[in-house]
Structure 1
């Protein structure tokens, strides 16, 4: 989707500030708008506002539904990462029902989610955000950089086959670039791998609380493995190629580390359950959370503050600020205390009441349908605007610092890095990649982490497939456990959607859903200024970003702004949904010519 900039002079502002907007910004779903005031004299972004134009009321129309339908309904929140929602909803239901799936069922879900990460990160990195670094884009925005790229040898040319950085950029050109076209093919077989495990992409047909309906056979895992090894081979080319490309930008444009840079405030809710530890009991959630194959954590200024899912859960606050909603402070409280006796805040998702209040956009007051999720850091009494960095950078950072993950020699968290080992494949030898904690949380490092997490997902899938086959060989073929829905219960699920943190919170009363709130990465990353005036991550990452584009105001494309925002892998469906209030009554009239019309 093309992005058009709207240029407006602003008589209320000093002459050096020019208002520009990019709306839509994303290349996948177009309800994200970025509105800026640019200081061209000093070549920086003075102000930035993130907007989302459509309200989606999932938290409202989930009320009164059968809890067993929750994962089917919430998977429709998004047509891109719907399986992540289904998985997180199943985790939530498992807790509420007190059910533990068989180990084989968990390995199948893990394999499905690994395939989703491989598929989605691949298509975004190579076919969407990669376009921002392609030859044609660089030619239009930084021709001197392209000239240098054509003269710069690629350090890892032997691994990926492109002699110069310019050759890499040409390979990324949409539809004509070799690498761009290869990536489209890769997206096909990774989606096939997902469907082998969960039946259908992107709304799983075999995923249920208590496990999965997938029929586990040697053949189905073999078919998955064939596709997985193709991906392993592909990643041995992709990682060194992207390292060459991203390292070049630091060399070509000194100071480029400032693009999209913000304070290191990262959140990761963990991914891939370990069935040997996970029982979905809230009271043991700390233990099984730390056993996940991606370690949950909150990172503040480079420090790993917690790896406790209980702490993470208790710290979630939903603030309003500049969003189009009424406060719910005077509404009912659904949950006073968690199962461990900890008090639950009124602004926690378990207690949220969604009260939409549509109004005219005003950047000095209310300007978006996206709320402002924050994490309360009780050490300093701060409400932190955590970001996910598009998902991978937070996942790798948290896992690296925690040092808990060790997957049979395939993945090792060292305390300062993550080592990823990929075995010998058809034409390439065994390799080891090491993602090292970077100096910055910025656009380049978010994109780099995405590539490394693709390799991480492939290595994790190799581990999961070994575990699944071991279950089959031991005669453990059960994939699902029976359960009953209690009259009263609460549940919460924590997972990583492709783009980052995902949580679902549910309250059951009289056997029906009384309250349900899904919080995916979009409202965290795309949130607006909260009641304390703190900007959301997109806004924060764009504000004060320097301008390196060579074009002046009249031909300005905003490529540095786009790279900053797109490094978060923006996708707006999860942030907003459509809601029609009490609904509309269908009227039937009799047409004398054509019979019944409605």
Structure 2
């Protein structure tokens, strides 16, 4: 990784003799643990739009290859290492798949503990990303560099909910988000400490759990344990009573200050959610009853197309999964004489050759070619019987809240899904009264609404954690303190686990033969959101969201930062981007000719 950034726009000097029409730009890497994300875009500075985008991943991991032959009981420990930030989500999903394969369900107390751990992970991860990473895109220093006119307006605009969060103007909110020096930025860092402690209370270690197993957990459950969790949770709930109104004010301001900003990062509503947080009263992890217990999850699974719920049946969701190769660095396994592991699911439904149960990973390294193969990321799609849909997760929370709201199945003392919204009840805390928030289905699937949903889902996870704490303490007080159920590994089995990683959909598909793993494929949100153009030429969600994004940045081309593009990409929470380098090119300039195609000439 280079430590110095080339001068932005240095190839667009006035002596070039003309203004540039279309410039090829690269932001690479936008990266974290899972893969190394790069965004390559053609920006038209005359029309102030992005005309084309390619999303790339330059790292091959190979977990699906080296899982073969392993003892299936090790699967959650191994797959936890897929990611260094949401490893517990992988461990949990793997345990779900193992529970199905072994025919075991944890005691109720064990499942409540798992739910409390996952809720803490949502609170921790969404907080640190929203406030300390994506929040920087909206801070005073960033807005001053890219949209000084917007900052000037922000300094004059009173915050509608100043009484709730304490910041008089929108400009004050932006200053509070300045990295390292902003008071809200620093407060959020502190919050990330005790939310991580909450997770460790439940599962021993973050981010690779040490007490999570198939059949339950090894956590010693006591009233004191849950009290320690609850004291931290109430501090977080009080924090959320500041965070929700603060972000509502900030994001609403951008709509008002920049008419048309709803189109930044906008794409067709194609959302996928696999559901999370099990109800142990009904969940037995049996595939044959998966539709029933899937609909009792506290985050309801669902596929939303053009704002309408297509299905919330986990069996249907599973049957529709397809892994297309398209523009990725792999050889095709379909029709190539490779073994088909699964013909039918346990209900007798036929399983497609491109389903994860039947996938073969055959890497084919090659030079990147945007006209051919250009990424290590495959193209997961959901087949609705007619089309292969390029679903996205909305960064996780947008799809989760949208699906839960439309399904209208969740109803506890603290959260209720109404069919068009999700209501969140936060009780009285030390300094603030009881408060109700309502996330309403938005008009757009865009950058600002992905970010807004992240804030509301933090409150949603906190409210659910209260419910889980009450259920867990009731089990202990009733003397039901067992947290683990014994099991035996079968000689042969097929299974799947579905949950929601922080960033969205997560599935693990496993085939066991002779007591060993014969095939194993984990699919986290990164390959869904960051997928490449598939076999039908359909771009992946990052690509689709960036293409046609309008440019509102006030800087001239020679000082262009690309903030609108970065806001679009980072709204998906692309695996906690911790390093972003922008490279304008120094090499190629694209200009329009009279033909509809783009000509490429050396600079």
Instruction: Give yes or no for TM over 0.5.
Output: yes
Please, which moves more after superposition, 24-33 or 534-543?
Answer: 24-33
Residues 10-51 of structure 1 show CA distances to partners (whole Å, capped at 9, x for unaligned) of 99xx95110110111247778111000011100000000001
**1:89 corresponds to which of 84, 89, 94:** 94
User: Cα distance, 1:552 vs. partner?
Assistant: 1.5
| Post-superposition CA distance 1:402-450 (Å, at most 9, x none) | 0000112x00000000000000000000000000000000000000000
Residue 349 (1) aligns with residue 356 (2): yes
Query: Equivalents in 2 of 1:79, 1:42: separation in Å?
Result: 41
Secondary structure, counterpart of 1:145 in structure 2:
helix
Question: Quick check: 1:148 aligned with 2:133?
Answer: no
| Aligned equivalent of 2:346, options 316, 339, 347 | 339
Which residue of 436, 440, 447 corresponds with 1:436? 440
Separation of aligned partners in 1, 2:575 and 2:4 = 15
CA distance in 2, matches of 1:555, 1:261: 25
Q: Does 1:319 align with 2:324?
A: yes
The superposition leaves residues 500-531 of structure 1 with CA deviations (integer Å, 9 ceiling, x where unpaired) of 00000000000000000000000000000000
Map of 1:594 onto structure 2: none
The alpha-carbon deviation at position 571 of structure 1 amounts to: 1.4
Residue 584 of structure 2 corresponds to none
Q: How does 1:13-52 map onto structure 2 within 5 Å?
A: 15-26=20-31, 31-52=36-57
Q: Taking structure 1 as the reference length, what is the TM-score of the superposition?
A: 0.93
Name 1:407's counterpart in structure 2.
412
Question: Aligned to 2:29, what secondary structure does the other structure show?
Answer: coil
Out of 215, 228, 232, the residue aligned to residue 233 of structure 2 is: 228
Pair 1:54 & 2:53 matched: no
- Give CA-to-partner distance per residue, 1:44-103, whole Å, 9 cap, x none: 000000011010000000000000000000000000000000000000000000001100
Residues 31 and 572 in structure 1, CA contact (< 8 A), matched pair in contact too:
no
| Offset at residue 275 of structure 1 (A) | 0.3
- The answer (yes or no) to whether the contact 2:23–2:44 under 8 Å persists in 1 is yes
Count of residues in Structure 1 that have an aligned counterpart in Structure 2? 568
Would the alpha carbon gap of residues 58 and 27 (structure 1) be closer, same or farther in structure 2, given more than 3 Å must change? closer
The runs of 5 or more residues in structure 1 that have no matched partner are: 574-598
Q: Quote the Cα distance in structure 1 between the aligned partners of 2:297 and 2:9.
A: 48
Counterpart contact for 2:33–2:84, Cα < 8 Å: no
Structure 2 match to 1:587: none
Aligned to 2:485: 481
Question: Is the 1:29–1:572 contact (alpha carbons within 8 Å) kept by the matching residues of 2?
Answer: no
Displacement of 1:553 after TM fit? 1.3
Q: Are 1:567 and 2:590 matched, yes or no?
A: no
Q: Aligned ranges for residues 248-267 of structure 1 at < 5 Å?
A: 248-267=253-272
Match for 2:384 among 372, 377, 399? 377
The CA RMSD measured in Å over matched residues stands at 1.6
Residues 71-150 of structure 1: pairs in structure 2 closer than 5 A: 71-150=76-155
Name the CA distance, whole Å, in 2 between partners of 1:255 and 1:390.
21
Q: Is the 8 A contact 2:303 2:310 kept in 1?
A: yes
Give yes or no for the alignment of 1:291 onto 2:291. no
Question: Partner of 1:25: helix, strand, or coil?
Answer: strand
Deviations 1:87-139 (A, max 9, x none): 00000000000001100000000000000000000000000000000000000
Structure 2 gap ranges (5+):
578-603
| Contact 1:297–1:305 (8 Å) recurs in 2 | yes
Q: Which runs of 4+ in 1 moved over 6 A?
A: 8-11, 27-30
Q: 1:4 to 1:272 in 2, by over 3 A?
A: farther
C-alpha contact (below 8 Å) 1:9/1:18 kept by paired residues: no
Does the 8 A contact of 2:34 with 2:83 survive in 1? no
1: CA distance, partners of 2:576 / 2:400: 21
Which gives a bigger RCO, structure 1 or 2 (Cα 8 Å, sep 6+)? Answer: 2
Q: 2:455 aligns with which of 427, 436, 451?
A: 451
Residues 1:308 and 2:313 are matched in the alignment: yes
SS at match of 1:166: helix
CA 1:30–1:131 in 2, change beyond 3 Å: closer, same or farther? farther
1:367 aligns with 2:374: yes
Q: Is residue 2:531 matched to residue 1:524?
A: no
Contact 1:524 1:536 in 2 (8 A): yes
Task: Find the counterpart in structure 1 of residue 515 from structure 2.
Answer: 511
Aligned counterpart in structure 2 of residue 551 of structure 1, from 549, 555, 567:
555
C-alpha distance in structure 2 between counterparts of 1:28 and 1:16, whole Å: 36
Counterpart position of 1:467: 471
In the TM superposition, residue 161 of structure 1 has moved relative to its aligned partner by 0.1
